[in-house]
């Protein structure tokens, strides 16, 4: 429940954006409708001197940095989509990824000692200045006593209180939107806010991040599209995380893509395939894959860092995702439409064929075309219009997936302007379809379901019998015990399974 302080901070956030002319920037006046242009000019009356310092992206970055961690993460997402918002705007926001103002190294050293319960010198031969500073933490270059180079991540002082405050403001904003903007209700603003708040809260325990990094390192190792640095467990605590140094250069640096021998096409393909392999094959994926969290090395090596946000998908969601992608890859829009209805993404009151027609209007103009030839802002606008037309609502359980897909595509486009997301996706999706939807796998799944049914029935048979009224216990009536019922049902289940195998 948001308190009075949340209202004050929400008003303060709006005031910060107004003072920097970052809500409806003057540079975009020619693109606004007449009503929006009038509102923009009215709001500009409240702008301060800082509203005339820098480009729109610089002013927005300055505003978001002041507004706190959750706002900064929004800026990080926007910075990955130069194809939508323009290269200059995205570049101005890119400083929010890992180039924020650091806190003093002396404070970081004290935090390491307090969290780990030992002197810095007992673990590290050297502990350097911060090399990257983000919204929640900063990273230090250090060397272990055994000579290994490591990165030590330390949470910012008092960051938990700041995240809690941001969460209250975001929740209040979501409630207000849900209450006063009926058209936005299908986007489930409260569900979206709850997902973002929960994900950010989990980032405040670096022990959980270490566990996520360790789990994803195992997952990534099975395909080789991406890797993760090894966790140094003796350097892990609630507010401190130590990992081996990542190979290569962060993609947030321009020099990263100019390394000798770098294969940009293969690098972009590896990024797309790594994400899909994680999500489809394992149901767990790195959910914060912006350039500041990705290191590149020749010829096409990708190393991910910062595992604070981990996304997870259940078996049904993985199947829906794979079948939707497979349908698009084969341009089978009827199949894609049917999966949307089966998953409940589109209300059953609509027509499957009509929805397939709408999907064709989106898919055909972009299929097989290079990323540089596709105006993604126009595609997203069309998708938004279609989701409104067919009453599609945001699914809170898919927020991290959708956010990560958007980020991954944006980063891949920056790596390789000619990136073909469909061609890159094909081998991973094809492998999943061949494995999970093959006749052998379906029979195996059916057998497992039958086994579970028999086990549940056996448990029912073990329960004490329910008392039966005396007047119906007559000798001329058969007396069926729960055990016989269970055995009969089990036999029926086995017969069904055998019939399916024969068929």
Same domain, 420 and 476: no
Instruction: Choose one of 83, 98, 113: the last residue of a domain.
Output: 98
How does residue 491 score in pLDDT terms, banded at 50, 70 and 90? very low
Which residue of the set 21, 92, 269, 288 is catalytic? Answer: 288
Within a domain: 146: no
- 395 phi and psi, to 5 degrees? -100, 110
Same domain, 353 and 446: no
The pTM score is 0.81
Per mean pLDDT, which range of 145-149, 394-398, 494-498 is the poorest? 494-498
- Positive or negative: CA dihedral 107, 109, 113, 115: positive
34-72 pLDDT tens trace? 888 888 888 888 888 888 889 999 999 999 999 988 888
- 248 phi and psi, to 5 degrees? 90, -160
Length of the chain: 503
* Known catalytic membership, residue 288: yes
Nearest CA among 73, 59, 71 for reference residue 22: 59
How far is Cα 303 from Cα 250, in angstroms, rounded to an integer? 9
Other Cβ atoms within 10 Å of 126 Cβ, number = 13
Greater pLDDT, 106 or 72:
106
Instruction: Choose one of 418, 437, 456: the last residue of a domain.
Output: 437
Same domain, 430 and 462: no
Domains in the chain: how many in total? 3
284-320 pLDDT tens trace? 999 999 999 999 999 999 999 999 999 999 999 999 9
Same domain, 339 and 263: yes
Same domain, 300 and 369: yes
Listed in sequence order, the residues at least 6 apart from 151 whose beta carbon sits closer than 8 Å to its beta carbon are 131, 139, 140, 141, 142, 229, 242, 243, 244, 245, 246, 305
- Domain boundaries, position 395: 252-437
Instruction: Choose one of 78, 98, 118: the last residue of a domain.
Output: 98
Average pLDDT over residues 184-197: 86
158-187 pLDDT tens trace? 999 999 999 999 999 999 999 988 878 887
133-145 pLDDT tens trace? 989 999 999 999 9
Helix axes 189-202, 159-180, angle to 10 degrees: 170
């Amino acid at each position: 429940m948001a308190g009075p302080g949340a209202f004050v901070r929400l008003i303060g956030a709006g005031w910060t954006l107004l003072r920097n002319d970052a809500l409806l920037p003057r540079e975009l006046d020619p693109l606004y409708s007449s009503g929006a242009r009038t509102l923009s000019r009215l709001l500009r009356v409240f702008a301060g001197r800082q509203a005339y310092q820098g480009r729109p992206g610089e002013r927005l970055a300055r505003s978001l940095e002041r507004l706190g961690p959750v706002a900064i993460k929004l800026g990080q997402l926007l910075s990955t989509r130069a194809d939508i918002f323009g290269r200059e705007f995205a570049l101005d926001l890119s400083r929010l990824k890992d180039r924020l103002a650091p806190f003093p190294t002396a404070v970081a050293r004290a935090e390491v000692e307090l969290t780990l319960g030992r002197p810095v010198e007992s673990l590290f031969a050297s502990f350097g200045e911060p090399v990257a500073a983000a919204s929640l933490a900063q990273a230090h270059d250090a060397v272990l006593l055994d000579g290994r180079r490591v990165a030590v991540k330390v949470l910012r002082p008092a960051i938990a209180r700041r995240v809690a405050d941001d969460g209250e403001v975001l929740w209040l904003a979501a409630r207000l939107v849900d209450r006063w903007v009926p058209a936005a209700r299908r986007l489930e603003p409260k569900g979206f806010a709850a997902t973002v708040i929960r994900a950010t809260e989990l980032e405040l325990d670096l022990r959980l991040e270490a566990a996520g990094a360790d789990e994803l390192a195992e997952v990534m190792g099975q395909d080789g599209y991406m890797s993760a640095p090894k966790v140094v467990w003796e350097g892990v605590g609630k507010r401190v995380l130590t990992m081996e140094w990542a190979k290569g250069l962060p993609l947030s640096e321009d020099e990263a893509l100019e390394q000798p021998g770098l294969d940009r096409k293969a690098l972009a393909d590896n990024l797309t395939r790594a994400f899909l392999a994680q999500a489809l094959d394992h149901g767990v994926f790195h959910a914060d894959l912006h350039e500041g969290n990705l290191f590149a090395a020749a010829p096409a090596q990708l190393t991910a860092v910062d595992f604070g946000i981990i996304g997870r998908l259940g078996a049904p969601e993985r199947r829906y995702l794979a079948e939707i992608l497979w349908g698009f890859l084969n341009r089978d829009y009827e199949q894609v439409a049917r999966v949307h209805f089966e998953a409940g993404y589109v209300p059953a009151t609509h027509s499957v064929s009509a929805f397939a027609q709408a999907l064709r209007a989106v898919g055909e103009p972009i299929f097989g075309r290079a990323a540089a030839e596709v105006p993604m802002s126009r595609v997203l606008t069309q998708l938004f219009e279609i989701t409104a037309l067919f009453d599609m609502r945001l699914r809170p359980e898919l927020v991290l997936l959708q956010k990560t897909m958007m980020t991954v595509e944006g980063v891949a486009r920056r790596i390789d302007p000619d990136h073909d997301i469909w061609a890159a996706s094909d081998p991973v999706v094809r492998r999943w379809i061949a494995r999970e939807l093959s006749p052998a796998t379906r029979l195996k799944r059916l057998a497992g379901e039958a086994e579970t049914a028999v086990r549940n029935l056996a448990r029912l048979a073990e329960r004490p019998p329910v008392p039966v009224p005396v007047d119906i216990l007559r000798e001329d009536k058969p007396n069926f015990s729960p055990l016989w019922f269970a055995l009969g049902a089990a036999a029926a289940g086995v017969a069904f399974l055998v019939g399916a195998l024969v068929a």
